[in-house]
Amino acid sequence: MCGLDVTAIRATGLGNMADALVSVVIPVYNERENIQTCIRRVETALKGLDHEILICYDFDADTTLAAIAEMADKPASVRLVKNDLGRGAAYAIRAGFAAARGDIVVTTMADLSDPPEVIPAMVDKARSDGADVVSGSRYMRGGSQKGGPRLKSFLSRTAGISLHLLTGLATHDATNNFRAYSRRFLDSITVESTHGFEVALELTVKAHLKGFKVAEVPSSWTDRSAGTSRFRMWKWIPVYLRWYMLAVEGRAFPGRVRSRL
């Protein structure tokens, strides 16, 4: 599978790292109903922190863009990033990684399922505790989940908790894309994900297997109340299983697996 070398892309000038800057990467697809509230909540949550909000979109007719253009109070921190890598959430997130200038890069969804108010705690965990991947965790003590398909929730919880118990992965929530990543970690890996929202699981497993520090903070998740979800569970389960099994294999054969990353 062809991966994205973030370091190489940044060297071409598509991204220039800045110190002590939080880059919030938000992939979008026709999020007209949600994006204005999402941006305002992120901006409020990050008050006092130098930050940028990267809206990563696939096509110029995306209704998200018109909604942003209509904002009389659009923050100066908002940047639009057109995803030219390939259609879909995984590529949009990867485009955001390449464009991000911060020492901490946070991924979150535009559908208001993730609470932006948790981002400062994730950033603090990364900067103060030296964590390279910080999960906004639904399944640790203090976390919660409300709504959404029951089977999807069951499989996600089972995957997260079993990976924590079987492999020692230092988060109970391996699949949620509400994540903070250190720049040093992103610059050390090649992102391979091309299907949906597998990015979080891939990067968390890779960080664990390569010896980077993984951590978590409690977070809530609430199913979207507007717009349409692009999550296709049965289509993406095989992709998720790839990274799940790699983590399990890495527990038994760490050296062999690490050499393949």
Tell me how far apart the alpha carbons of residues 254 and 261 are, in angstroms, rounded to a whole number: 11
**Residue-by-residue pLDDT tens, the chain, 261 positions:** 344 444 333 433 334 444 799 999 999 999 999 999 999 999 999 999 999 999 999 999 999 999 999 999 999 999 999 999 999 999 999 999 999 999 999 999 999 999 999 999 999 999 999 999 999 999 999 999 988 778 878 888 999 999 999 999 999 999 999 999 999 999 999 999 998 789 999 999 999 999 999 999 999 999 865 555 555 555 667 888 999 999 999 988 888 888 788
Q: What is the pLDDT of residue 229?
A: 52
Q: What is the pLDDT of residue 2?
A: 40
Tell me how far apart the alpha carbons of residues 38 and 40 are, in angstroms, rounded to a whole number: 6
Residue type, 187: D
Burial of 216 (0-12, 13-18, 19+ CB in 10 A): buried
Tell me how far apart the alpha carbons of residues 49 and 42 are, in angstroms, rounded to a whole number: 11
The CA-based dihedral angle spanning residues 233, 251, 122, 238, taken in that order and rounded to the nearest 10 degrees: -10
Structural domains counted in the chain? 1
pTM over 0.85, yes/no: yes
Tell me how far apart the alpha carbons of residues 84 and 59 are, in angstroms, rounded to a whole number: 9
Residue type, 239: V
Which CATH number fits the domain that encloses residue 214? 3.90.550.10
Residues of the domain holding 124: 4-258
Going from the C-alpha of 259 to that of each of 7, 209, 234, the distances in angstroms are: 19, 10, 30
CA dihedral sign, ordered 248, 180, 35, 19: negative
Q: What is the pLDDT of residue 253?
A: 85
Query: Which residues touch 4 (CB under 8 Å, ≥6 apart)?
Result: 85, 94, 97, 98, 190, 191, 192
Cβ contact 81:28 at 8 Å: no
The number of C-alpha atoms within 13 Å of 207 and in the hemisphere containing its C-beta is 28
- 3-class DSSP state of 27: strand
Q: What is the pLDDT of residue 121?
A: 98
What are the tokens at 86?
């390939």
